Structure 1
Amino acid sequence: MEEAMDMNGFLIEFVDMLEAIISTNENNPLKPVSYWTHITEQLDLVGWDRVTHMDQDMAKIQIELSDQAGRKHILTACFPPAFPNVPFTVEPLAVPQCESTSGLDQEAVMPSQLILIDGSSLRDAVRQAEKKLELFQDFWDVMQDFDDKTWVIDPENPTPSGRMRRCALGKHCSIQITVDPLSPFSLPESRLFGPPALIEPLRANLHRNTSLWDKTRFPRENLEKLLELADGFPSPTTVAKDTMHIECGICYAFRYEGQVPDQICGHDKCQRPYHRLCLYEIHIGRF
């Protein structure tokens, strides 16, 4: 339209554009002006610079939030066609699910949900979401410490709601930890994987040294002490990945169709990890 040479050319382009919009919305009637006005007013209050995604009809809008450590989070607001007569809704936040709820108020019991009353604005939702994020600052600090200073082999792409990390120990061994979001500096649930000859001494160390747990230190540091890891956890800054020996002994990959190697050969001369699926395919002759 900006390239139209005269008014007649501009009007022709304008009519073509309107016809395209109408044909696209035959099964989705155009929303009233009040719909657009009220949504833009909401965004004016929140700040357009915080919008990371917006549907063409503004039905779904994503707002960027930052926690105290500068980590980014997303709040997704959904606006119904009848907005503002029908209130908007927000999708659950990507925060960990809490199992221990003793002494917590209703908002903390369901941390992923925002409680919006009639007349709540988008700015109210943002403020409530930011308050929810404050509950998990220590938890995210703990998980980030694992991510930064260990070889995390599962999950492949950690999310803010993920409570589990499986960290490589080397020599086909690894440890899976599950952190309590509301008490992240407490002793986490732990499970060791690897050849029995190597895992049993680590398991004995863990049980024998449990009383040494120090809640003022990161769980990673505590686990290094309890497991008696002289050199600490292997990490990308201390060892090369190809020395971790975490790949499957059949397909020579760590992740295969979403699975990680969870079967360890008990033979003293092997003790390599294998995908359950690879073993099955060997058994039926597909490899």
Structure 2
Amino acid sequence: MESTEGTRCRKLAETSAFYRLVYSEIEEIGWKHLVRSAGDLKSLSFRILDNKGRVHIMEIQLDIHYPRFPPSISADVPYIFDLRWSMSSRLRDLVQQFQEHLKKLEDFWSIMDDIDKFLWVVDPKHPSRAMAYRQINIGNDCYIMLSINSRDPRSLPECRFMGADPIVNSLISIWRRNSKRWIKDNPFLENLARVLETQLLRPPDVPKNNQQLECGICYAQFLPVDDELEPKSGSATDYTCDNSKCNRAFHSVCLGDWLRSITTTRQSFNVYFGSCPYCSEPVAVKINSKK
């Protein structure tokens, strides 16, 4: 029978092997992609970009007996993929599978981005990437709640109308009559306008003070106090996306670092030109800007 001390030493050895394994696998992925990690390395968060340059955070939970027990993952996506795992699998395989999953969702997110950009969305105010519904103002004090199929986003969405009964009943009748006119190969918003037989309302201007204060990249309101960040040390977010449906706040330092890591970013003199990580609208950030 194993002694108490023997058990303790064996567990320490297992923990040491676990540390060595996880460290080596993080290095394979690249430390620049690691956003957060627990002290025991059982919880890891990686920043992953999809092909459109959107930022996604993948949370990974590891068992002490990893890789014998597969990791569990969570992310801001409408559904999680089925993990393919074996004893020979590594974290880089998990990242690759996540990237494949993001690629499958690109069409869904492009449609949701178009809805947020071009229609009068009243709910949710600040949608996450996992949300597949939108409540849209269609005029006459009426609203349509759309539920988009994230696995088949170009298909006819489920919908529910809200408003005065006579108008809602008329809209339901129009929707049922025209639903067969929905053509999956056509743009989503074009299909929606055709089925509803109406010109869809554009979003109103959003006041500039209706902004998120936390940086969309480092998720903090203030930069750390650090001599290397002078004169930005300890400063608040100082850059806001111009897209009124986004208004995402950033530290110009964080956004500049992020743009520098994107291959499609252009640089002219001391300015980076690229796309917002959240809505893909054009952004321009001065290098070492002193706004």
Q: Does TM, normalized by the shorter one, top 0.5?
A: yes
The 5 A counterparts of 1:193-212 are 193-212=162-181
Counterpart of 1:236 (choices 204, 209, 220) is 204
Q: Which runs of 5 or more residues in structure 1 are unaligned?
A: 1-27, 98-110, 241-287
Indicate which of 48, 63, 71 corresponds to 1:89: 71
Report how far residue 113 of structure 1 moved.
3.2
Find the partner of 1:151 among 117, 120, 143. Answer: 120
1:64 corresponds, among 18, 23, 47, to 47
How big is the shift at 1:172?
2.2
Once residues 182 and 194 of structure 1 are traced to their aligned partners in structure 2, the CA distance between those partners, rounded to angstroms, is 29
Tell me which amino acid in the other structure corresponds to 1:129. Answer: F
Match of 1:221 in 2: 190
Report how far residue 83 of structure 1 moved.
Answer: 4.7
- 1:122 aligned onto 2:91: yes
Q: Is the CA contact 1:174–1:194 (under 8 Å) kept in the aligned structure 2? A: yes
Contact 2:76 2:130 in 1 (8 A): yes
1:243-282 to structure 2, matched below 5 A, reads none
Q: Name which one, 1 or 2, has greater alpha-carbon Rg.
A: 1
How far is the alpha carbon of 1:182 from its aligned partner? 2.4
How far apart, in 1, do the equivalents of 2:180 and 2:16 lie?
65
The structure in which a higher percent of residues are strand is 2
CA distance in 2, matches of 1:81, 1:117: 16
Post-superposition shift, 1:220? 2.3
Could you tell me how far apart the structure 2 residues matched to 1:45 and 1:234 are? 46
Correspondence 1:188 to 2:181 = no
- Residue pairs, 1:10-89, within 5 angstroms: 32-83=15-66, 86-87=68-69, 89=71
Give the Cα separation in 2 of the matches to 1:82 and 1:160. Answer: 32
Gaps of 5+ in 2: 1-10, 208-291
Q: Determine the C-alpha separation between the residues in 2 that align with 1:205 and 1:154.
A: 23
CA RMSD of aligned residues (A): 2.6
2:194 maps to a residue whose letter is: K
The one-letter amino acid of 1:162's match is M
Contact 1:51 1:61 in 2 (8 A): yes
* SS at structure 1 position matched to 2:160: strand
Aligned equivalents of 1:70 and 1:121: distance in 2? 25
Count of aligned pairs: 197
Contact 2:70/2:85, CA 8 A, preserved across alignment:
no
Structure 2 length as normaliser, TM-score?
0.60
1:171 matched to which residue of 2?
A: 140
SS at match of 2:127: coil
Question: Given residue 203 of structure 2, which amino acid in structure 1 is its aligned partner?
Answer: S
Q: Secondary structure at the match of 1:209?
A: helix
C-alpha separation between the residues in 2 aligned to 1:216 and 1:88? 39
Give aligned-pair identity as a percent: 27
Deviations, residues 29-48 of structure 1 (Å, cap 9, x unaligned): 89843332222111110011
Q: Deviations over 1:39-74 (max 9, x none)?
A: 211111001111111112222001111222122222
The residue that corresponds to 1:101 in the other structure is none
The one-letter code matched in structure 2 to 1:148 is K
TM-superposition CA deviations, 1:202-232 (whole Å, max 9, x none): 33332333333232233222112221223x2
Separation in 1 of the partners of 2:26 and 2:167? 57
